[in-house]
Amino acid sequence: MALRMNEVMEKFREVRAEKEAHLHYFEVIVQHIGIITYKTNGTILMLNNAAKKLLQVKKATNVEEQSLINPKLAQSLLALESGEKALVQVRQGGELLNLSVHVMELSLLGDKIRLASVQNIQRELEDKEMEAWHNLIKVLTHEIMNSVTPIASLSASAYEDVYTYTDTEAEEITLLKGELIDIGQCLQTINRRSDGLIRFVSDFRNLTAISSPVYSMFNVTELLKEIKMLLRDQLAKNEIDLHVDAPAQPLLLSADRTMIEQVLINLVKNALEAVQEQKHEMLITLLAYHDERSRISIEVRDNGHGMTTEAMTKIFIPFFSTKKAGSGIGLSLSRQIMRLHKGSISVQSELEKGTRFILRF
């Protein structure tokens, strides 16, 4: 009898341990997904840690508390029917978030309770977007190069032939020399523009051919000071002040130093162009610090003309540029470099009040 009792108790302990392991497993999963439970009138019953971290709130009593929960998200939480999903785009602390919201309605002791899962799928959307752009760029560059390269070669050869003819003293050539010179100039223009288009397309190929980062540990403060030194003459020539605001103690970052330097130089040069359109004091500021999540962050600020909300949503798209002579490569390349570092780049701007680009690692 005692033996049978011991067997039953051992089996009970095994089952209990298994259930506790499953419970712990599901708790870990749930804590990685933002969960909000609330009544149909918006009263919040529970906000788990993942939701608090995602929404950057400590507590909230109602989904319509606009000081705590984004109005767009609140509207979706109240409007979605049970089983429905929505993609809510919000801007939080300068970062653009795409939140996937899924609402289910449950019955608990006769009361209707709504359970919403909230996930930030911004990274996944950006990955898909970059993949789509890469595929498009590969097709476009392949077709353009196939068409333009023969034209460039043919026009160059034809120009050389025309130049050879006009260099002779033959009477029949002398009579047509003026016309031949015009034709030669046209062919030279075609060749020059074809070469320019080939170089332009080659630059876009760089978007799909970035090598993997070579990581090393370096001091961010020193990097910012070196960038200021590198651009010293250009800053002085245009009477632009550049301030570095970074900790005196080492702020160590593990990244590809060359790549991050390239991103920062590109952002500073964009800022140089932006502030030159202003009549007041032209100022650029480089900042480095730990943000609220202890991530190393670097900012490039300027007091230039700023940009519209529409421009901010498109600024990282390949081919898009707010500058007349811009190619739309620099910022797209910068975002891809940050993606390779598992980081992000975001922008905050307001017309006539300047722009901030923020790198987060």
Q: If you write DSSP's letter for every residue of 56-117 in order, what string do you get?
A: T-S--SBTT-TTTS-HHHHHHHHHPPTT-EEEEEEEETTEEEEEEEEEEEEEETTEEEEEEE
Task: Read off the pLDDT of residues 123-138 as tens digits, 9 standing for 90 and up.
Answer: 777 777 666 666 666 6
Q: Residue 163 — pLDDT band, cuts 50, 70, 90? A: low
Average pLDDT over residues 225-246: 89
Q: Which of 60, 86, 83 is nearest to 73 (CA)?
A: 86
Please state the domain extents for the chain: 32-120, 125-208, 216-360
Claim: this prediction has a pTM higher than 0.85: no
Average pLDDT over residues 129-152: 68
The Cβ of residue 294 has, within 10 Å, a number of other Cβ atoms equal to 7
The Cα 217–Cα 242 span in angstroms is: 25
b/e burial code for range 226-251 (CB count within 10 A of at least 16 → b): ebbeebeeebeeeebebebebeeeeb
Q: Residue 298 — pLDDT band, cuts 50, 70, 90? A: very high
CATH 3.40.640.10 applies to domain 216-360: no
Structure tokens of 235? 């800053």
Question: Which CATH class name applies to 32-120?
Answer: alpha beta
The Cα 338–Cα 255 span in angstroms is: 10
Q: 20-29, 51-60, 96-105, 140-149 — which one is most confidently predicted on average?
A: 96-105
pLDDT at 253: 94
The Cα 264–Cα 21 span in angstroms is: 47
